[in-house]
Amino acid sequence: MPVFVSAGVDNFAIGARSAAMANSSVMLSGAWAAHHNQAGLTKVEYVTGGIYYENRFGIKELGLSAGLVVLPVNFWDGGVFGLSFSYFGYSMYNDMKIGLAYAKKLGDRYSVGIQFDYLRTSIGEDYGNKGTVAVEVGLQAELIDDLNIGVHIFNPTRAKAAEYKVQDVVTTERIPTILRFGLSYTFSEKVILTAEVEKDVYTKPSIKAGIEYQAIKQLYLRGGVSSYPVSRS
């Protein structure tokens, strides 16, 4: 039995903002864009770090941990570097992802980003672990004032996860490619609406929408829905 590398493929909603908006976040900027669309890192102006933990069902074996460090630089004509990680599971089964990103502005309205990932899945003592390398690329643009779009492709090269032989037939497992496209509209300083379509090559599209309302300076109210799997946040 092969060890299938699935880290990063589940596309977890990492970060409080994304999780609250049903992961409708491909067009959002900030430090947590390291986990969603690296192009969004260009809005980070200072060294920034963050950690995240989620356990929706109160079962420690289903815990999700993540973190990041973002560093804007002046060399190479400017840009932003990001280092991120995520870990899902426990000792007998876990997925891990480590990513190194670079993002850069192209003019006033466009940003691009790229990230190189190391993905690893571990399954108990009998099956061991398997790791592979993948890449992500992203674009964000402000089409007109207050209207932004985001495009992100995870694993466009279809990295190989595992290869095994059964009855003289060689089978190659590949990490799925995931395409995300979305837009946001800022109605005022307090209200943002987002919409996104996500398509995994192996599953039907997921349609997501989110809303963010800034009630006071330090309090945001957020919500979201997604069609596949059906969920509300």
pLDDT in tens, 73-88: 987 778 999 999 999 9
Burial tier of 56 (Cβ tally within 10 Å: 0-12, 13-18, 19+): exposed
Q: Which domain holds residue 140?
A: 16-232
Residue 4 counted as domain residue: no
CA atoms 65, 30, 156, 10: torsion sign = positive
Q: Pull the structure tokens for residue 202.
A: 């192996």
Which residues neighbour 66 within 8 Å (Cβ) at sequence distance 6 or greater? 12, 14, 15, 35, 51, 52, 53, 84, 85, 86, 87
Q: In this structure, is residue 10 part of a structural domain?
A: no
Dihedral of alpha carbons 133, 12, 83, 102, sign? positive
The answer to whether position 2 is within a domain reads no
pLDDT at 163 over 80: no
The HSE-up count of residue 24 (CA atoms within 13 Å, CB side) is 31
Does residue 11 lie within any of the structural domains?
Answer: no
Structure tokens at 88: 């899902």
Q: Is 3 inside any structural domain?
A: no
State pLDDT tens for residues 126-160. 777 888 999 999 999 999 999 999 999 999 999 88
- For residue 85 the two structure tokens come to 């990680």
**φ and ψ at residue 231, rounded to 5 degrees:** -155, 160
What residues contact residue 110 under an 8 Å CB cut-off, 6+ apart? 139, 140, 141, 142
For 49, other C-beta atoms within 10 Å of its C-beta total 11
Partnered with residue 183 across adjacent β-strands are 149, 195
Give pLDDT, residue 152. 98
5 close to 131: Cβ distance less than 8 angstroms = yes
Q: Which residue has the higher pLDDT, 78 or 176?
A: 176
- Inter-residue contact 155 to 136 (CB < 8 Å): yes
CATH code of the domain in which 60 resides: 2.40.160.60
As a whole number, mean pLDDT of residues 185-208 equals 93
Could you tell me if residue 5 is inside a domain?
A: no
Decide if 163 is inside a domain: yes
**84/68 Cα distance (integer angstroms):** 4
Give the C-alpha separation, 79 to 232, whole Å. Answer: 35
Res 233: pLDDT: 65
**What is the domain count for the chain?**
1
The structure's pTM equals 0.89
Report residue 219's pLDDT band, with 50, 70 and 90 as the boundaries: very high
* Residue 3 confidence class, pLDDT cut points 50, 70, 90: very low
Q: Is 29 among the domain residues?
A: yes
